[in-house]
Chain A
């Protein structure tokens, strides 16, 4: 008889969580279904698309290819942990909105986590480093150039044209952010 559940402890976005998991459930399933953190997306399930990308102990992984039990004792960061607790977006999130790096949005959480990991290792990545660092994240809307521009913007430390507060006021309208950014360039 297979085990029913195993107890694990892991830190998720800074909070220690104890949870009983089925051995055959992936970390993605446990994050989404047991911890209600639905930012990470289930898509290809074979490690090609990157929609489920999260950080485990500071390294980006496809959470569809990690068993939840393997994360026992781990430190996990998901897209929900990028913004500050008061809702202010992280610079990389604001830069995605500024540059129009979000279209349908399905791949965005994974893209953000890969971009976050890339910038942690390469604060000023070259174009080649960005392409390689983001090669595990597919975008069917083909926002690649906008996503790369967003990473450049976040790396440059330029103040985002879109702040967390203004994004909330504009109901997350990415195009508004892109326009603000373009106007900024004209000046």
Chain B
């Protein structure tokens, strides 16, 4: 690994100032499960690595704020998210997604903010967070900014974070905001430890609005809504749902060069996973889970 300077700021102000001062020379280190691989293979070559795990505002933890907002600290690990009772109850699709990221060893280190900031099209937590209307709380020299997750992703490796901005937390509207029952589904090449060939979540509320988000089939995760109520209605036939699913999945553009799965397979699996996730979300909404 190429040598670099290691910085471990103790305050948010110091972290933000350092990132602003060093600009492109600096890289943020959270769980390291992507960054350390890239430091080793030389695809990133920072002068300074800024370890943000001792900044109090980014500390791991999941808190329920007044008004039914769940706030997840930036450095909360996948292990913590998958096991947390409030996430499992109110954001079930996110708990399911966090539980299938990498292996136990990866989940013990990989952070939620890291998963989002890497902006991998295959990021498993992205679809569930999109259907739940999650908001990224970022901090920079200019202060705090809230970015809806759908306005956060640009393409693989690129977000709308400004240079020097740091993700502090992720907010999820939960109870009190109109309950959304969600479910996550994915396909991988093999069981166990693999990246998603298709990753998808469905979120459903009592008004009949259905949200479907999917990734690993284009440059960024995509969120689409069904406002007709046809997907959500228990009485709808599959024939009635099919044109709506087709419209929702029309923006999938899987690469024909990807090694994990063929484009045709991914497009076929999107339609299967969409139906499965919808059925699970419907059952969860009905059960009041």
Contact = CB atoms under 8 A, between A and B. Distances in A.
Contacts, number: 88
A66 B36 contact: yes
A6 B156 CA distance: 34
Prevailing SS type, chain A contact patch: mixed
A59 interface: yes
Nearest to A4: B3
B47 A2 contact: yes
Contacts of B133: none
Contacts of B37: 45-47, 65
B49 interface: yes
A36 to B, nearest CB: 21
Given A24-B39, A65-B36, A47 B102 contact: yes
Given A135-B104, A136-B104, A66 B1 contact: no
A60 B104 CA distance: 7
Q: Which of B3, B105, B108 counts the most A-chain CB atoms under 10 A from its CB?
A: B105
Interface centre among A6, A45, A61, by most B CB within 10 Å? Answer: A61
Contact of A67 (B2, B29, B47, B106): B29
A22 B3 contact: yes
Contacts of B36: 26, 64-67
B4 A45 contact: no
Interface residues of B, number: 29
Contacts of A133: 104
Contacts of A131: 191-192
B103 interface: yes
The prevalent SS among residues of B at the interface is loop
Given A47-B33, A59-B79, A24 B2 contact: yes
B6 interface: yes
A40 to B, nearest CB: 12
Given A67-B36, A136-B102, A3 B108 contact: no
Interface string A85-111: 000000000000000000000000000
Interface string A48-63: 1010010000011110
21 contacts: A2-B4, A2-B47, A24-B4, A45-B40, A47-B37, A48-B193, A53-B105, A59-B79, A60-B104, A62-B105, A64-B36, A65-B33, A65-B36, A67-B49, A70-B29, A70-B32, A118-B104, A133-B104, A135-B103, A136-B103, A136-B105
Given A46-B37, A47-B105, 14 more contacts: A3-B6, A24-B4, A47-B102, A47-B106, A53-B105, A60-B104, A61-B105, A61-B109, A64-B36, A65-B36, A67-B32, A69-B51, A70-B53, A136-B102
